[in-house]
Amino acid sequence: MIAIEGVGKRFAGRDGGAVQALEDVSIAIRPGEFVAIVGASGCGKSTLLRLIAGLAMPTSGAVRIEGTAVTGARTDTAMVFQAPTLLPWADVLRNVTFPMRLMHRAGPGTEDAARALLARAGLAGFETRLPRELSGGMQQRVAICRALLQQPRILLMDEPFGALDALTREEMSLELLRLWTETPMAVVFVTHSISEAVLLADRVVVMSPRPGRVVDVVEIDLPRPRDFAQEASPAFQAAAQRIRAHIFRRPAAKLAA
């Protein structure tokens, strides 16, 4: 469904230098698949999501969705950014329904659906609050509801739970899995957390630091529905260990020193 084909992204620096953020990245994502992307800070994870979302163009290679090259934002793709990006003057409910209204897709049931999502995200009673009256984690949950209300076929999430405390993070992970089971959507989920990636994903793509390349793709064969009890299982531990080994790999000389 999503074909990332030999994608490279180079940024021109202000001093005339350039940063090769991504190099020769190829990933094929199936409809309805849950793919997690992990890698060190600065390895190009957000850049890759922005390319899939059509918010930036690759400098080499191509991103195709069902065979069509992505050239701009698409109505069937929704993104949750690394930092919540809410409209400061609009209350929670209007923030959540905003893209639907913008796309002329809002109908009689839209507001009820938004309220239901907010309730599932633990935000019932906050519908008329402004973003500045919410904590960072609550704002991020509003941004997640905003993306889910669109019932996207492709959901791009950039460290969506980064601002949440550990408990809320676990709750939101399981809620996301439930929603994903109910809705046929492909999810591309960027995270720093190896255990979060293994818990959620069908496959985990491991990226190397600059330039960002795919160093491994780990199939996660744990049964679904998943829960945190599975973290103790040998299959979970093996997958997490394999990913960790890539991320913390050091040049041999450094290890010997």
Ligand X SMILES: Nc1ncnc2c1ncn2[C@@H]1O[C@H](COP(=O)(O)OP(=O)(O)OP(=O)(O)O)[C@@H](O)[C@H]1O
Q: What is the contact surface with ligand X in residues (CB under 6 A)? A: 11, 19, 21, 39, 41-47, 82, 210
Instruction: Write down the least CB distance from residue 46 to Mg ion, Å.
Output: 3
Residue 126 near residue 134, CB atoms below 8 Å? yes
Least Cα distance to 23 among 206, 211, 209, 208 occurs for 211
- 47 interacts with, out of ligand X, Mg ion, none, CB within 5 to 8 A per kind: ligand X
Instruction: Write down the least CB distance from residue 48 to Mg ion, Å.
Output: 9
Residue 182 near residue 214, CB atoms below 8 Å? no
The residue among 74 and 210 lying less far from ligand X, judged by its C-beta, is 210
Instruction: Write down the least CB distance from residue 46 to ligand X, Å.
Output: 3
Q: In sequence order, what DSSP letters do the residues of 62-103 get, joined into one string?
A: EEEETTEEP-S--TTEEEE-SS----TTS-HHHHHHHHHHHT
Instruction: Write down the least CB distance from residue 170 to Mg ion, Å.
Output: 22
Instruction: Write down the least CB distance from residue 26 to ligand X, Å.
Output: 17
Confirm or reject binding of residue 193 to Mg ion (CB under 5 A). no
The residue among 46 and 151 lying less far from Mg ion, judged by its C-beta, is 46
Q: Which residue is nearest to Mg ion (CB)?
A: 46
The residue among 92 and 194 lying less far from Mg ion, judged by its C-beta, is 194
The residue among 46 and 193 lying less far from Mg ion, judged by its C-beta, is 46
CB-based burial, 213-248: b 16+ in 10 Å, e otherwise: bbbeebebebeeebeeebeeeeebeebbeebeebbe
Stretch 32-61 residues interacting with Mg ion (CB under 5 A): 46
- 77 interacts with, out of Mg ion, ligand X, none, CB within 5 to 8 A per kind: none
Q: CA separation (Å) from 80 to 70, 141, 188, 242?
A: 18, 10, 10, 28
List the structure tokens of 57: 């163009």
- 44 interacts with, out of ligand X, Mg ion, none, CB within 5 to 8 A per kind: ligand X
Instruction: Write down the least CB distance from residue 42 to ligand X, Å.
Output: 4
Q: CA separation (Å) from 75 to 52, 92, 100, 150?
A: 13, 21, 10, 9
The residue among 51 and 149 lying less far from ligand X, judged by its C-beta, is 51
Question: Which residues sit at the interface with Mg ion, rule CB under 5 A?
Answer: 46
